[in-house]
Amino acid sequence: MTETIIHEVGAEIDARCAKCKAITKHIVLSLKKDEKAKTVRCEPCGYEHAYRQPRVKKSTKPAVPKLTAAEKKQAKINAEFDLMMEGVSTDNSISYNMTTSFKLDDIVDHPVFGTGKVEELITPDKALIHFRDGRKTLVCVISTEFEE
């Protein structure tokens, strides 16, 4: 249901002023046939112009910030890491060093990347380790011990 707006000559109304570039108080100078304001005068600057109705905000909901592609990617990596580390104890983690020997599924404590898990051994001297920041290929010694 639309509301019928009726103005009177000399009445004070809010309108958008083209000169002030803002919504300000205006005085109605003339009316259209349907008794709506035709021309108005801005009180702060004195500019006379056609009546421009103030814009109404469409939504009162707070704006939800959208994630950038990089933030979405990082959120996905974090979720994968959390799922992988769920139920894994970090008490027996091995401190990373290039001369340290690693096996598959070892928990690694790196001084820069933090806690990670060995996902793949790449012969002869590298391991793919999954950290919270993502997967990193690091130099190490591959353990020749195999568990049965």
Per-residue pLDDT of the chain (148 residues; tens, 9 = 90+): 455 677 888 889 999 998 888 889 999 999 888 888 899 999 999 999 998 888 776 666 777 788 899 999 888 888 888 998 888 888 889 999 989 888 999 999 999 999 999 999 998 889 999 998 888 999 988 776 544 4
In a domain, 42, yes or no: yes
In a domain, 21, yes or no: yes
| Number of domains present in the structure of the chain | 2
Full domain range(s) for residue 117: 92-148
Strands (E), the chain: 12-17, 22-31, 37-42, 48-50, 94-95, 101-102, 107-110, 114-122, 126-131, 134-139, 141-142
**pTM exceeds 0.75 for this model:** no
Going by their DSSP bridges, the two strands 141-142 and 101-102 should be labelled as parallel
